[in-house]
């Protein structure tokens, strides 16, 4: 396993940028770098930590929902742990078992699966990817366009990406990880 920072630059994949927030100093991989929030050397350490909470938000305001947009930017550039953190507050503020809640939870699980995959934890990656895809499929059936995503397309691309893992074949995190593209119009 190599640090995520040593993976090919996702910029070569024509990855769009949706927020203006700066990226963290490193992509966190447990065991390789200081924990971002708990270790004084972490990229997001605060002496007095704040809970990852978000105010109530409205789905129709997704174009200006900075934590959503930043999470997409982080995810698309292999900051999987950080994307999960950006989306978790939004998920916690969403009504449970609604399409927005399931979409966020599914993407959080996909991000966690990719991190586990990178760490070589195949069983964890398999479990998390299956759970994330199941939630995204439920969203696709109920609300195919949500938070700027074409959810059926996202499901298809990630199902194809994770298919080798489902068959027991080796799979690596790299430039072929699907990109989340938002329809801004």
Hey, which residues does 150 pair with through a beta bridge? 145
Contacts of 21 (CB under 8 A, 6+ apart): 66, 70, 73
Question: How many domains does the chain divide into?
Answer: 1
Rounded to whole angstroms, the Cα distance separating 29 from 84 reads 13
The backbone torsions φ and ψ at residue 107, rounded to the nearest 5 degrees and listed phi first, read -70, -35
Q: Is 143 part of any domain? A: yes
Q: Is 133 part of any domain? A: yes
Give residue 12's pLDDT: 55
Give residue 5's pLDDT: 52
Q: Containing domain of residue 138, as a range? A: 75-185
Rounded to whole angstroms, the Cα distance separating 136 from 92 reads 17
Q: Is 107 part of any domain? A: yes
Q: Is 105 part of any domain? A: yes
Contacts of 7 (CB under 8 A, 6+ apart): 78, 173, 174
The candidate with the shortest Cα–Cα distance to 117, out of 82, 81, 74, 76, is 81
Q: Is 58 part of any domain? A: no
Contacts of 176 (CB under 8 A, 6+ apart): 161
Q: Is 182 part of any domain? A: yes
Which CATH number is 83's domain given? 1.10.3450.10
SS3 40: coil
pLDDT one-digit tens code per residue, 28-79: 677 566 555 555 555 554 655 555 566 789 999 999 999 999 999 999 999 9
Q: Is 50 part of any domain? A: no
Using pLDDT thresholds of 50, 70 and 90, give the confidence band for residue 163. very high
């Amino acid at each position: 396993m190599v640090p995520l920072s040593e993976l090919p630059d996702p910029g070569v994949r024509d990855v769009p940028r949706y927020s203006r927030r700066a990226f963290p100093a490193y992509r966190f991989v447990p065991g390789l770098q200081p924990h971002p929030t708990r270790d004084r050397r972490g990229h997001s350490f605060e002496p007095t930590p704040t809970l990852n909470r978000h105010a109530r938000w409205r789905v129709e305001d997704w174009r200006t929902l900075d934590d959503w947009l930043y999470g997409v930017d982080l995810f698309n550039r292999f900051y999987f742990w950080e994307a999960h953190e950006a989306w978790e507050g939004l998920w916690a503020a969403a009504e449970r078992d609604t399409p927005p809640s399931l979409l966020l939870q599914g993407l959080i699980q996909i991000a966690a699966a990719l991190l586990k995959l990178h760490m070589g934890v195949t069983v964890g990656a398999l479990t998390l990817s299956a759970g994330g895809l199941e939630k995204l499929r439920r969203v696709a059936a109920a609300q195919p366009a949500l938070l700027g995503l074409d959810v059926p397309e996202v499901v298809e691309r990630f199902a194809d990406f994770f298919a080798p893992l489902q068959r027991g074949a080796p799979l690596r995190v790299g430039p072929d990880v699907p990109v989340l593209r938002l329809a801004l119009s």
